[in-house]
Structure 1
Amino acid sequence: MILPSVLISIALSFVFFPFVLRIIGRVIGWYIRRLSRQRRQDLLQRVAKEEEAYTSKEQQESPTEDEDWEKVDSQRTGVATNGGKAEKEWKGVVGFFHPFCNAGGGGERVLWAAIRATQKRWPGAVCVVYTGDHDASKDEMLKKVQTRFNISLYPPTVHFLYLTTRRYVLSTTYPHFTLLGQSLGSLILAFDAFSLLVPDIFIDTMGYAFALGLTKFLFPSVPTAAYVHYPTISTDMLSSLDSDSEAQGINAGAGKGLRGTMKKNYWHLFARLYGWVGSDIDVVMTNSSWTASHIRSLWGPRREKRGKKDDVRVVFPPCAVEEMEREIEVSETSEQKRGRYLLYIAQFRPEKNHSLIIQAFADLLNCRISEDGVALGCGEGERPKLILVGSVRDSDDATRVYELRLLARELQVKDDVEFVCDATWPQVLEWLRNASIGVNGMWNEHFGIGVVEYQAAGLISVVNDSGGPKRDIVVDIDGEPTGYHATTAAEYSAAFAKALQLGPEETLAMRLRARKSAKRFTEEVFEEKWVEETARLVALQERH
């Protein structure tokens, strides 16, 4: 009799455990809401005071003194996506989970463009950014957004809540089991965020799917959204462990032996866990078709079981295409002003593979022989120059720049390689205006905003033969190429040589095709898509 009783008890515990767990989550969530209620009231009062002060200041100043701010402020009566009057004014709090919002990269451009689109469509909403950038004030960050991305926001309804636990999502915190460590660390970071303020809508724009899972555990009524730049783990990563795989990356072929088998099992288990936390997210956006295919593969099966079918939407990141067209001429006249510059705009991170590009550039200058037996050369004219433009986030990035300088010296091209660190937007525009070739060296780049900027500026792109640059951006237009794809240093060198040796007419024709291609990625297109997806979140929130 004892054994059947034990078995029945175990069976009942399995049946009721999920129910008990959900109850525990709701109780904790209720308590957190209660604790942060006063902070929410304080925030709304601060918004009201800042709006009053901002309006007063605006009335005193000449309208022409701040035209960009006026563009945003003019939308504050409530505007629908088709330009008509919004049917209903929604005045909730939208939380943007972006702990590294001051980094200045492509992911941050998406964040600020998303906030701008949200402000235009729902001017009564308050946009809260959860960040760990304690070294920058609100005014400093908004000023950087303006100078780096030329994005103007309405200051009174943008606020920052500062997290104290960002170290738990740093890769350096977890020398082993990094993927799992960072993902579990994001739970701590998300709990820190909710302790500061529970929003009405919670949007992750950095790829912390586990944080969204915690949201649903604590606050089931809070709609969640993920804008996925790059899956935490991908099917390409899983296949790269196989010794017979042609995949690249630091873990390529690492699945051999006992240790490799353990790593492979660990990654597959993590992939299942990643799919589980992603299955309950209300709105899923990805930045490219490459990312979307991976997310559908990892999250899709469980999402279908939950009745969420075919709801992973591709929302291309906003790129400064319109501004490029205004600021940068692409014509026979402008060709006379372009130098033989190879421009690589990318943060100085390991995965950007700057060393590969420097090696390929050195091969070009030394007129080495490519893998297919073609003699490389710089063509006629002045000696080409490689320009590396990128932001330096921390001491690790600074060390990386130093090491790249040493590499250029070792390859005897130090005088032909220029480093431009933490460039302002006007500086970036100037290089785009003067360069001839745009370079991307990252394997499986999720999208490649920099590549779109190359195209919009009329540069001939030489990009990695993978990811978004291959599938979405550097594609044929009107049956003709807009750039070149490469994988190895030899292939990059050959592509550089081809681009430099094109005739004047062929060069201009390719530049114009590239600019035509870039029109698919305008800020206007992003705003329309973003508002469409966010409207689904607002509708869900209003239902509760």
Structure 2
Amino acid sequence: MMLLILKSFITLLSLLATCVLLPQLPLGVLRLVLRAVGWVVQRRSRSRRDYIVSRVRADEEEFSKRAKPSSATTSGDDEEDWEKVDTSSSTSGTAGINGNDEWDGIIGFFHPFCNAGGGGERVLWEAVRATQKRWPKAICAIYTGDHEVNKAAMLERVQNRFNIHLHAPTVVLLYLSTRKYVVSSMYPYMTLLGQSLGSLIVAYDAFSLLVPDIFVDTMGYAFTLAFSKLLFPSVPTAAYVHYPTISTDMLQSLDDQTGLQGVNAGAGKGLKGQVKRKYWVAFAKLYGWVGGHVDVVMCNSSWTSAHIRAIWGPARQSNTYKDPTVIFPPTAVSELESTITVTPETESSRQPLILYIAQFRPEKNHPLVLRSFARFLQERRKRLGETPSPDQEPKLVLIGSVRHASPDETHIYNLRLLAHELRIRDHTTFLCDASWPAILDHLGTASIGVNAMWNEHFGICVVEYQAAGLISVVHDSGGPREDIVIDLGDGATGFRASTEEEFAASFEAALALPEEEKVAMRLRARKSALRFSEEEFSIKWIADIEKLVSLRA
């Protein structure tokens, strides 16, 4: 244990020394030094790579032997989807042209918190599934810090939480020992820079375990991609950006006087605020330089893409693929449509229930939903002139994952206290780490789906609401405003709000709609959700990964 701590400390000092010496060294010399380090790392990890490949091939062979007897008694339609290489799903066609149909390299997915169970994890595992279908012989290595979960338990959770079935033999979990260096609580000051430099330590840990043929960050640690490029120039890199580490909106929020623009609203006042502003501006320039080292950039929404273009764009002008691709996160649209019926006849099965699906984290702004719901109930009672029995009043259900042994547990405890203080405890239900069948059940019976995060980068839960026929009430910002809850030409698909009063009014307006208009809005929303299906995600994901495969070839 002491040896590990000493090793981590030495690594951190080395990285900090590099950062200090960076302005004093010619960039060419620094690149040569880092390339030499990369050569050493690659050489040291070669035996582990050979072992991983041989183990995967042995598991594949064993799996095939077990599958043969059952395949003789089942039709071809019942075979695993992963076995069918879907070359027609690619829009670029580069794989067939370059002879990469049988590509069997290793794709490294950098996702230290892959067991978190949120929207980012759905993207990761859907990306792995799409990759397996396209290249059945490729190995998908996931760098994770979730030591308490083995591969079997991880894949079972993925199946239960997201209904995503993966081919186990070609999935490899590589366990990081340094994940603590990217935890925000470790950096009470200068958190952005601390986590970014900390990610270099975690990336070095990852590369010491295995140097992949293609390196993909699916969690937002862009500094790891630049680090990879400097260590291993021949390894193509890609970023799937859920949320920019810093954005122009964040800088603007420092001057916000309304208190509505996130946790840093109005923080630009005084000497401390000016220091924070200069620090953020300097970090934004560094972040932009980092973005120039990424070969292929994918963004989860128009909002994210616009910010990435603004910050990374100037440094990406010489890149082959300089413009980011917008790839909306995958949502179980097809399953929701086939499972949940939306017709005038099914309207009677909908309850006056407001559903919020979101991880229990501060940025999801659950307190705004609780206060808005309390105001909505209070105003509703005043209008009706009496207090209905609890079973007749609207209910609020909050569903989300909780990272155990983390600040999330304290956060949900405080939310329960707030519900008690607002006197809505009897009307509010908290469901932690709910299974997919449980989520489906609530999506089929709820009437309204809410999302309250300021500048939500996309909003997978909002698409789930739409696909299930719920009427959405979302924060008037970010992806929900620009991509999801929009009028496609045939009418509104939901409501948008920013304040407690607006959310409460939207809850009332949604429930007060005439039945005919309720059904019409539900159907419009469901039609809109088709743009965000798993199939659409897979097609675009494969097209961009094929670019990386071609670069590797």
Same fold (TM > 0.5)? yes
Give SS of 2:140's match: strand
Asked whether the 8 Å contact 1:228–1:285 carries over to 2, the reply is: yes
Matches within 5 A, 1:1-400: 17-61=26-70, 70-75=79-84, 79-81=87-89, 86=96, 87-88=99-100, 89-242=102-255, 248-304=261-317, 306-307=318-319, 310-367=322-379, 382-395=392-405, 396-400=407-411
> Which segments of 5 or more consecutive residues in structure 2 lack a partner in the other structure?
1-21
Deviations 1:340-390 (CA, angstroms, capped at 9, x unpaired): 1000000100011111101110111111799xxx99999999310000011
Between stretches 237-246 and 288-297, larger displacement belongs to 237-246
Pair 50,187 (structure 1): closer, same or farther in 2 beyond 3 Å = same
User: Would the aligned equivalents of 1:79 and 1:122 in 2 still touch at CA under 8 Å?
Assistant: no
Whichever residue aligns with residue 334 of structure 1, its letter is: T
CA–CA distance in structure 1, aligned partners of residues 388 and 510 of structure 2? 10
Distance 1:248 1:82, change over 3 A: closer
Structure 1 SS opposite 2:26:
helix
CA RMSD across the alignment: 2.6
Greater shift, 330-339 or 340-349, is seen at 330-339
The AA in structure 2 aligned to 1:314 is: V
State the alpha-carbon separation in 2 of the partners of residues 478 and 79 from structure 1: 34
Residues 19 and 449 (structure 1 numbering): CA distance in 2 closer, same or farther, change over 3 Å?
same
CA distance in 1, matches of 2:111, 2:493: 34
State the alpha-carbon separation in 2 of the partners of residues 376 and 292 from structure 1. Answer: 49
Distance of 2:285 and 2:75 partners within structure 1: 50
Please name the residue that 2:15 is paired with: none
> Deviation per CA, 1:186-245, whole angstroms, max 9, x where unpaired?
000000000000000000000000000100110011000000000001110011112557
Given that 1:464 and 1:487 are in contact with CA atoms closer than 8 Å, whether structure 2 keeps it comes out as yes
Question: Structure 1 residues 14, 410: CA separation in 2 closer, same or farther (over 3 Å shift)?
Answer: closer
**Residue 60 of structure 1, CA deviation:** 3.7
One-letter amino acid of the structure 1 residue matched with residue 472 of structure 2: S
2:541 equivalent to 1:530: yes
| Worse-matched range after superposition: 120-129 or 162-171 | 120-129
Q: 2:411 aligned with 1:403, yes or no?
A: no
Task: Give the secondary structure class of the aligned counterpart of 1:207.
Answer: coil
In structure 2, how many angstroms separate the alpha carbons of the residues matched to 1:48 and 1:463?
47
How many residue pairs were aligned?
Answer: 525
Matched AA of 2:372: A
CA drift of 1:63 comes to: 7.8
Rounded to whole Å, the distance in 2 between the matches of 1:378 and 1:238 is 46
How far off its partner does 1:401 sit? 1.5
Cα 1:433–1:63 change in 2 (3 A) is: farther
Q: Which has the higher contact order (CA 8 A, sep 6+)?
A: 2
Aligned partners of 2:279 and 2:473: how far apart in 1? 36
CA contact (8 A) 1:213 1:277 kept: yes
User: Aligned with 2:398: secondary structure?
Assistant: strand
1:457-487 deviations in whole A, cap 9, x for unaligned?
0000000000000110000133310100001
The AA in structure 2 aligned to 1:283 is V
Percent identity among equivalent residues? 57
For structure 1, the 5+ residue unaligned runs are 1-12
TM-score (norm 2): 0.90
Shift of 1:68: 11
List per-residue Cα deviations over 1:133-174 (Å, max 9, x = no partner).
000000000111111111111111110100000000000100
> What is the identity, as a one-letter code, of the residue corresponding to 1:469?
P
Is the 2:90–2:542 Cα contact (8 Å) retained in structure 1? Answer: no
Q: Which moved more, 1:328-337 or 1:495-504?
A: 328-337
Q: Which moved more, 1:360-369 or 1:517-526?
A: 360-369
